[in-house]
Amino acid sequence: MATYEAPLRDMAFVLHELLDMEQLAKLPGYEEATRDLIDAVLEEGAKFCENELFPLNRSGDEEGCTYENGVVRTPKGFKEAYAAFTEGGWHALSFDTAYGGQGLPKALNVVLEEMICAANLSFGTYPGLSGGAYNALELHGSEELKSRYLPKLAEGTWSGTMCLTEPQCGTDLGLIRSKAEPGEDGSYKITGTKIFITAGEHDLAENILHLVLARLPDAPEGIKGISLFLVPKFLPKENGSAGPRNGVQCSGIEHKMGIAASSTCVMNFDEATGWLVGEPHRGMRAMFTMMNTARLGVGVQGLGLSDVAYQGACAYARERLQGRALTGAKNAQAAADPIIVHPDVRRMLLTMRANTEAARALAYWIGMQVDVSLKHPDAEVRAEAEDLLALMTPIIKARFTDMGFESANLGVQVYGGHGYIREHGMEQYVRDARITQIYEGTNGIQALDLVGRKLPAHTGRMLRRFFHPLADFLEEEKSDPAMAEFTKPLAKAFGRLQEGTTWIAQNGLRDPEEAGAAAVDYLRLFALVAMGWMWARMAKLALARQDGDEAAFYKAKLATGRFFMTRILPESAARLEAIKAGKAPLMELAEAAF
């Protein structure tokens, strides 16, 4: 059977020992974010995820959502769990207190999201979309829109979506055809069809707020002619309650490979009343606020799935008796040894664990940059955090979701034939994880964003926000012989990343296809280095504490870090060679030959 227990000890290690999250309490508005409060919130959040959400994961997958005459119903237990979730304020953990939120750091919400997605990814999509809608409205909505709608999102009685994709366009949003006609009262009539709309219709909240991309009559062609509109399912009354039905209807739900308990809807807008969010023709600017939030959130989905897959595989490997250890029986009283004695099983488990723990450290670090970018009183510090956040967003989205899928597949392999059978729960993680590599921009698109936008931006300024601190770290630690087994392989991998960056800068400017051909390998190389840096930082702490009261924890941390450095980080050499191979191996085959 699948199992999940929130890894609170490792989370505390990252938050308090590695990152000193309590420093966020020095930022305006976060004064109450002390370690005691942070730990208390996470302990209660863990209980909710383990006891309320995780038990619904398999049943929700088996039942799925149902559609009838425009009405979507979520699986049994979801409505009650959502009510308890919102009553507990979990959905509004980092929302502004001015609108009814709890005003806690965004980074703390990242930790909660990991637990939610590990326990029940389908459930997590509903509050996840609402959080994205809240962020977009808070940053780009008028005061009237914010005062009317943000408190409802903070209550959780109203939820949110983002409506981008249309039948003829996904990634290329410049092809959008949905139209918005201005009315005399300042509202707009929105007409068009949107597909793949997560949480577009459901029975969890009394109203749904759709953020819709559409074109005004005078819109220029392409991406620069798109505006963003808020279109509620039910138009609000003067007293703020949900009123008459708007001209928006769900015409069907998709029958998907995974996340079956998350409603994925076709939404039809028929002269639906909406209001402009932000400036005319500047909708992508506002929508990217939501998309970037969502991309980080999807990366955390991959992290959560990787962890729960590891936990299930580890429990099974301890219990399943098959064969004998290569060095002789370890469990002589039984007919066979547990499969955890076998080197290849350990390889799979350690791959899952080493990647997951590095990803957790990287996710929480970047989550803290969100708070610094929003709250720090020094504009220069805010700008540095914004740069690092922008640079790392495509890396986290792509690498973490690849990791989640890889870990789920390794989990199935550890289980063997039992992993392929539904009752053990592991095959669901494979199916659920697959969409994370696709939605919110495919991982290939993330790689193109990294090499095409982030690397050249401001003559490489974003890149320097990562390269310079890493170089400083390696310089500071090079004289410590105890750190050599971590810093030497990291320095080699960093050198490869620098070489790959130079190669792309030189060849990609000359020929964009060269940059495109290198993009995926470059993003993977960058992620390897970033995760390797996290391991070196964690190892530095563990080395100093391995003889203390929690010796077993820190020695396990060091052993896992050594595995990453010796068995995973060397992949960086292969990625560099693939980058330097150029576009020819990809582009020379004639199209007709495919």
d(CA 118, CA 53): 9
Are 125 and 198 in contact by the 8 Å Cβ rule? The answer is yes
Tell me the C-alpha to C-alpha distance, in Å, between residue 71 and each of 34, 60, 68, 202, 208: 44, 18, 5, 7, 13
Within 10 angstroms of residue 540's Cβ, the number of other Cβ atoms is 19
Give the CA angle between residues 202, 205, 209 to the nearest 5°. 85
Tell me the C-alpha to C-alpha distance, in Å, between residue 159 and each of 84, 276, 326, 559, 579: 15, 18, 56, 44, 43
d(CA 289, CA 133): 9
Q: Which helix (H) or strand (E) holds 12?
A: helix 8-12
Residues in CB range of 519: below 8 A, 6 or more apart: 444, 447, 448, 450, 451, 452
Residues in CB range of 107: below 8 A, 6 or more apart: 21, 24, 364, 367, 368, 370, 371
Tell me the C-alpha to C-alpha distance, in Å, between residue 585 and each of 139, 390, 446, 517, 588: 45, 31, 22, 9, 6
DSSP state letter for 565: I
DSSP state letter for 321: B
Q: Of 393, 330, 341, which is closest to residue 366 (Cα–Cα)? A: 393
Are 197 and 161 in contact by the 8 Å Cβ rule? The answer is yes
Residues in CB range of 191: below 8 A, 6 or more apart: 178, 179, 180, 181, 214, 269, 270, 271, 272
d(CA 356, CA 353): 5
Q: Which tokens hold the place of 13?
A: 């290690």
Do β-strands 179-182 and 66-68 pair in parallel, antiparallel, or remain unpaired? unpaired
d(CA 310, CA 331): 23
Kindly list the catalytic residues. Answer: 440
The residue type of 548 is G
d(CA 435, CA 298): 10
Coil, strand or helix at 16: helix
Q: What number of CA atoms fall less than 13 Å from residue 406's CA on the CB side?
A: 16
The residue type of 159 is S
For the chain, report the end-to-end CA distance as a whole number of angstroms.
43
